[in-house]
Amino acid sequence: MKRINYFSTIGFNSEIDEEYLPPDYIIHPKKWIGEQGKNYFHNKCPAWKEWGKNTWIVYQQFDLEFEYISEERRIITNLTQQSFDNYFWIQKQWLDGEHPTIQLRDTYLFWTKEKDVWIEQIPHPLISRYGVEVVPGTFPISVWQRPIIFGINILDYDVNIKIPRGTPLYYIRFYSRKEDSLFTLNRENVPKEVMQSQKQNTRLKDYDRFASWDLIQNRLKKEESSCPFNFLRRK
């Protein structure tokens, strides 16, 4: 069994080692299988169990309301200006696509000492009911630490979008490419070396936006070559 650690907060990536909200207020990720009900016939399906065994649900932490004013090309929200600036991340390219794209700083950092561990961010099917679409992604946390936030495309314009506290936002799923693995997820304080690594990795995109994937591929090759059982795989 492979151990995954995480820490979550709200706000800028540099503050990910601080509890932004009271710890007993936070809704922690929950194991997907445990939230699906016990009486469905498909609960006995091996394929269903296989997909869900390493999957967790991430939830909205507080009642959020916002509206994209299409004529003015701006967003209004129920948050104060200070909270808006801390929680909403709107980049200069946010209107370049078919729909406005923003990121919400409900920030999670995952790390592990294990090898060959990938994380996948998958939209929860219910989130589309709120007029938004989650931007998915995947990368190997065994060689690359960086925060995950909530990126969305806004599909409904000029209406007040309400996402209540406790709404499922997306799935987090862990997998290994070279073996069948089972994972545990544990909330921990961020070690100094992990904090330093995630800051460096996050900062890179400000200087060379698309260099990270080449670095990831190089690190994966080094991770593979460091495995003491590689000679068994080559037979």
pLDDT in tens, 168-180: 999 999 999 888 8
Task: Supply the pTM of this predicted model.
Answer: 0.90
Cα gap 162→121, rounded to integer Å: 22
Mean pLDDT for the chain overall: 91
Q: How would residue 15 be classed by pLDDT, with cut points 50, 70 and 90?
A: low
Task: Locate the domains of the chain by residue range.
Answer: 2-233
Tell how strand 183-187 and strand 2-10 pair up.
Answer: parallel
**pLDDT tens digits along 173-222:** 999 988 888 999 999 999 999 999 999 998 998 899 789 999 999 999 99
The structure tokens listed for 214 are 């080449």
**pLDDT tens digits along 43-64:** 888 998 888 999 999 999 999 9
Q: What's the pLDDT score for residue 17?
A: 76
**pLDDT tens digits along 105-164:** 999 999 999 999 999 999 999 999 999 999 999 999 999 999 999 999 999 999 999 999
Query: Any bridge partners for residue 183, and if so which?
Result: 2
Has residue 13 got a pLDDT over 70?
no
Q: What's the pLDDT score for residue 138?
A: 96
The structure tokens listed for 143 are 């060689």
Q: How would residue 14 be classed by pLDDT, with cut points 50, 70 and 90?
A: low
Cα gap 89→135, rounded to integer Å: 14
Cβ proximity of 31 and 53 under 8 Å: no
Q: What's the pLDDT score for residue 231?
A: 45
Question: Which residues, other chains included, contact 211 with Cβ-Cβ below 8 Å and sequence gap of 6+?
Answer: 204
Q: What's the pLDDT score for residue 89?
A: 95
Q: What's the pLDDT score for residue 230?
A: 55
Cα gap 27→35, rounded to integer Å: 14
CATH number of 2-233: 2.70.40.10
**pLDDT tens digits along 83-108:** 999 999 999 999 999 999 999 999 99
